[in-house]
Structure 1
Amino acid sequence: MAYAEKRGSGKRPWRARYKKPDGTKGSEPGFRTKVAAEDWGEDQEAEIRAGTWIDPDLMRVHFGVFARKFMAERQKRGRTNGTRWDRLDAYILPKWEHTPLIGMTWFDVDSWQMLLPCEDVTRGHCVSLMSTILTAAVDARHLKVNPLYGRRRTAAVVSTPTIVKPRRSDEDGAHSPEDVLRVADRMGPAKGLNVITTAFTGINWGEGQGLHRDACLRTRRQRWGSGWFECPTLRVVQEVAEYEERGPAGEKLGTVLRLEPTKNEWRERDLDLPPFLERMWRYHLADWPYEWVLSTESGKWWRRSNWGKQIRPAADGRSAREKRQGVSARKKWEPIAPGMTMRSLRHLHDSLQAQIGVKAPLEFEQAGHKRPGIKGVYQHPTPEMRQERLDGLEEIFWGAMRNLGWTTLWGRVDLVKHTENHDRLPSDSQLIYMEDRSRTRDRHQSRSEAV
């Protein structure tokens, strides 16, 4: 039975006493009258009997304390975990670390997010992460309800910017296949193949880095009419993540590069290669001596910052430099596709699929996206869909080559500079790279004929 005790002679001298589920005595001070203290204690015991009671002490745990417990016990993929810690450190904890869980309200959180000095998408991610943590607090019986659940954020006040920011090229959709080929040609065979593969398959950065030799030029084989449809593929089953490793309390342990599973089950897929890209990959694998086929010249995974040093001057241009002691000369490069990134190349691939009318089941599959709705369950890619997509991408590539007046990329098929310890390719590989389109098309069609 709950009861009240008087402690001192201040304005709130009464405290409630009640029996907790484990048999110990609970205490809550700060009541003006004996009746108020008794009523509060009886409410607690009623909730205990109903199985809905939440310990008031747990409700008063600071958000920062519970957020660190959540991060330590609900580990995600390394990159996701690092991004969550970045949001917490930069935006969330400076404001909410010492706020009791029970003291958090939607009004306060919504007002705070409107003024965050970041992009609106980042504001949304911060609020979403906070809501996830508070839902975990409900599950851990620290709160009765999540005050952020299901609420729509208020848009930030629109003001006239003092500086007009240039639009990013991936937002404009400005890249063309000709841009891709010109940038790839500047970067050289091995790095250029990375650019072309991303634009014509939609493979993302981490997936490309995690592409192992054993996953390359596998064969897709499906029944087609009275025979079989076959095409070469790149199999995506893992990716390389670059992130700031964190300890249990969020302490920084340094940046790492690690293999991880794909982001979700739809990202694990086989990417169909059109004939021109198959041929590039065959030459590349014949020449490339390392297991990681889109790696650096020493066979290690690229760091994003180091890759940026390769693609930025190739896409954005660079100034000329005269030769001097310790520094080689270089010629000036005019801009080709300012702002081009591997992400914008992935966007280009999705745009090309729409341009050539790739059917939805295949479009979502090749991009590694989950198709929403019941059609995502009922519809599947057919060999006819695959052939139509490959023909469309092949035509886009050769159309770009014609527009540029090119018949070869890099002027050769030899993909790396040879050293004394590296044998040259077989003589039959020393052909012009894109020698005769008709032969390539004939070879491609013969593969699809009934056997």
Structure 2
Amino acid sequence: MGYAEHRGTYYRARYKIAPGKYGTVQDAAGETIRFRTKREAEKAANNEEAKVRDQRRQAATPSQMSFGAYASDWYASQDLAASTMQNYRRHIEEHLLPTFQDKMLDEISRTDINAWEKEEKAAGYALSSVKTWRATLHLILEDAYDEELIDSNPATKRRGRGKRAGRSRHRSPEKVITDPLGLLLIAERAAILSGRDDEFVAITLMGYTGMRWGEVVGLETGFVRPESIRVEWQLYELDTGELVRCPPKDDSYRTIDSPEFLWRLVSDHTARITPSPCSCHSLTYVFRGLQPANRAAHRPGAKLVDVARLAGVSAATVSTFLNRPDVVAQATQVQVKEAITRLGYVRSAPSGEPAAHWRRNGFATWLFHPAATGWYPKKAPHDARPVPLLGEPWPGVPVRGRNAAGRANTCWTRIGPGLTPHGLRHTHKTRMRGLGTPPKLMDERMGHLDGTVQARYDHITHEMRMALLAGLTAEWEAALDARRAMCPSSPVTALDELLRSL
């Protein structure tokens, strides 16, 4: 927009010619016109600026003005985090270009955008997703407006239109959380499904620190310290499958105070598995994934560790029986043979080998969701189905392979239908609220930033930190007591040691 510049006894009208370059309204003789009032000068400046925009549009070729061409150049000019670039590209290619690609920038109207938004909602997309895509469209068109390729931004929401009918129907569902015992049981089940302790330790860590998924996957061994966990990096998974090492979301670097039970659990786990540097980053991480797509839960055949659990012996004993049965006691041989028969174990069947890192979808779909709900999700060609189990030893041994459902004799009850890994952040915040934790300390642990005046004058004391750690420890011990009352042992090594130590 043009503006009026006060020159003491008069105003002169200034208008934008190009980025960083302004002209002055002149008469036919080339003399600066002196306006008596500010309003007159602004009006003349705006009129002159409109003429400049018209001349620029008339000189532009259609290819320079199409939304598709401009969006492509706009995307190429951005220099943002890999996660942001991926999201922008997905928004543009999947949701904006199908409708607006061939339209000229100055042909896109507010009516067109509202019609597109209505179609996206009718297609079943979440209201929050459509809102995000419109925000990206607004950002692109706002830059086009700044470059004076369009007169105004048609994606700008107009206010003051009154209450929109039916808005309450589009509210997002309340986030599902769980309690300390539910967290413990879900962690145990996930470890049973994977056949190792990594999932038990990781889920417990998320539930008692509120760490984000990428921060847990990207937790390096050097950042596990006595009495604290340092969040310095995350691993962000791109659509290509590449895991990018980048700063935590919103640069939320932080040191999270850790109860003694938690940092010992993580430290003991690291010492037990002795991790080595991954091939993708040449760094040593606390947690390992499973093979690509994390198919541990639905690959064919039972695992050797499943046989060991059912037989009540170690995995090493089962391996010895398969390779040198003559050195295994007769009674143990009978137990192992019976377990192999009941589980349908096939030697050399595909198994979940350790991979460098988890994949978000595989972890959530085949480990976390079944652990929280007791059901495998619908996945073509299979419908949703209960996790097939043998009831002994408690809390059950997963049955895999052909006719798994026919050989199973029990299944898990639901703990948290709808609970997701991200829901553990909500769980941790809720538990802190219940313990009376000050908001400043909660924000620090969660990696949130409160810019209010109240937060500026709020400070965290040592006593506050100790009170929170004591409360979290008390909840953990109560959950262990409740779990011990169900059964004094566990097939998960880390949990079994905890249950027997108290």
Q: Same fold (TM over 0.5)?
A: yes
Q: How does 1:261-340 map to 2 (within 5 A)?
A: 261-265=247-251, 267-290=252-275, 291-296=284-289, 298-307=354-363, 308-317=365-374, 318-320=386-388, 332-334=410-412, 335-340=414-419
The amino acid that maps onto 1:47 is E
Displacement of 1:371 after TM fit? 0.9
Q: How does 1:119-268 map to 2 (within 5 A)?
A: 119-149=126-156, 151=158, 158=166, 171-188=174-191, 189-217=197-225, 232-244=227-239, 254-265=240-251, 267-268=252-253
With over 3 angstroms needed to count, the CA separation of the structure-2 counterparts of 1:323 and 1:51, relative to structure 1, is closer
String of CA shifts for 1:226-252, please: whole Å, max 9, x gaps.
Answer: xxxxxx1111111111122xxxxxxxx
Distance in 1, Cα, partners of 2:92 & 2:165: 24
Displacement of 1:133 after TM fit? 0.8
With over 3 angstroms needed to count, the CA separation of the structure-2 counterparts of 1:148 and 1:432, relative to structure 1, is closer
With over 3 angstroms needed to count, the CA separation of the structure-2 counterparts of 1:299 and 1:410, relative to structure 1, is farther
More strand by share: 1
Are residue 74 (structure 1) and residue 78 (structure 2) matched? Answer: yes
Displacement of 1:326 after TM fit? 11
1:38 matched to which residue of 2? none
With over 3 angstroms needed to count, the CA separation of the structure-2 counterparts of 1:152 and 1:78, relative to structure 1, is farther
- Long gaps (5+) in structure 1: 1-19, 22-41, 220-231, 245-253, 417-429, 437-451
SS in 1 for 2:230: strand
String of CA shifts for 1:42-65, please: whole Å, max 9, x gaps.
Answer: 999943998997544559611121
Distance in 1, Cα, partners of 2:500 & 2:473: 12
The amino acid that maps onto 1:353 is M
1:249 matched to which residue of 2? none
CA contact under 8 A between 2:233 and 2:247: conserved in structure 1? yes
Percent identical among aligned pairs is 22
Displacement of 1:380 after TM fit? 3.0
With over 3 angstroms needed to count, the CA separation of the structure-2 counterparts of 1:52 and 1:276, relative to structure 1, is farther
Displacement of 1:141 after TM fit? 3.6
String of CA shifts for 1:174-223, please: whole Å, max 9, x gaps.
Answer: 42221111111122222111111111111011111110001112x5xxxx
Q: Which of 380, 393, 406 is equivalent to 2:472? A: 393
- Taking only aligned residues, the RMSD between alpha carbons, in angstroms, comes to 3.8
Distance in 2, Cα, partners of 1:375 & 1:44: 43
Matched pairs, number? 355
Which is further off, 268-277 or 138-147? 138-147
Displacement of 1:391 after TM fit? 1.4
With over 3 angstroms needed to count, the CA separation of the structure-2 counterparts of 1:391 and 1:331, relative to structure 1, is farther
Are residue 380 (structure 1) and residue 459 (structure 2) matched? Answer: yes
The amino acid that maps onto 2:92 is L
The amino acid that maps onto 2:237 is E
- Long gaps (5+) in structure 2: 1-16, 19-43, 192-196, 276-283, 291-353, 375-385, 390-398
2:29 matched to which residue of 1? none
Displacement of 1:135 after TM fit? 1.8
Distance in 1, Cα, partners of 2:366 & 2:400: 20
With over 3 angstroms needed to count, the CA separation of the structure-2 counterparts of 1:140 and 1:434, relative to structure 1, is farther
Displacement of 1:359 after TM fit? 0.6
SS in 2 for 1:258: strand
CA contact under 8 A between 1:185 and 1:410: conserved in structure 2? no
String of CA shifts for 1:92-145, please: whole Å, max 9, x gaps.
Answer: 211111222222233432343133221111111011111111122233342343
Which is further off, 102-111 or 112-121? 102-111
Which is further off, 79-88 or 321-330? 321-330
2:501 matched to which residue of 1? 435
Displacement of 1:340 after TM fit? 2.4
Distance in 2, Cα, partners of 1:101 & 1:49: 18
With over 3 angstroms needed to count, the CA separation of the structure-2 counterparts of 1:325 and 1:149, relative to structure 1, is closer
SS in 1 for 2:274: coil
Which is further off, 328-337 or 308-317? 328-337
1:426 matched to which residue of 2? none
String of CA shifts for 1:66-94, please: whole Å, max 9, x gaps.
Answer: 11111111132222222222222232211
The amino acid that maps onto 1:296 is G
SS in 2 for 1:271: strand
CA contact under 8 A between 1:243 and 1:255: conserved in structure 2? yes
Displacement of 1:304 after TM fit? 1.5
1:99 matched to which residue of 2? 103
The amino acid that maps onto 1:435 is S
Q: Which of 442, 467, 479 is equivalent to 1:363? A: 442
TM-score (norm. length: structure 2):
0.62
String of CA shifts for 1:277-305, please: whole Å, max 9, x gaps.
Answer: 12212211211222211222625111122
Distance in 2, Cα, partners of 1:128 & 1:160: 21
With over 3 angstroms needed to count, the CA separation of the structure-2 counterparts of 1:151 and 1:407, relative to structure 1, is same
1:85 matched to which residue of 2? 89
With over 3 angstroms needed to count, the CA separation of the structure-2 counterparts of 1:380 and 1:68, relative to structure 1, is farther
More helix by share: 2
2:332 matched to which residue of 1? none
CA contact under 8 A between 1:59 and 1:102: conserved in structure 2? no
Which is further off, 403-412 or 123-132? 403-412
SS in 2 for 1:255: coil
Distance in 2, Cα, partners of 1:304 & 1:114: 31
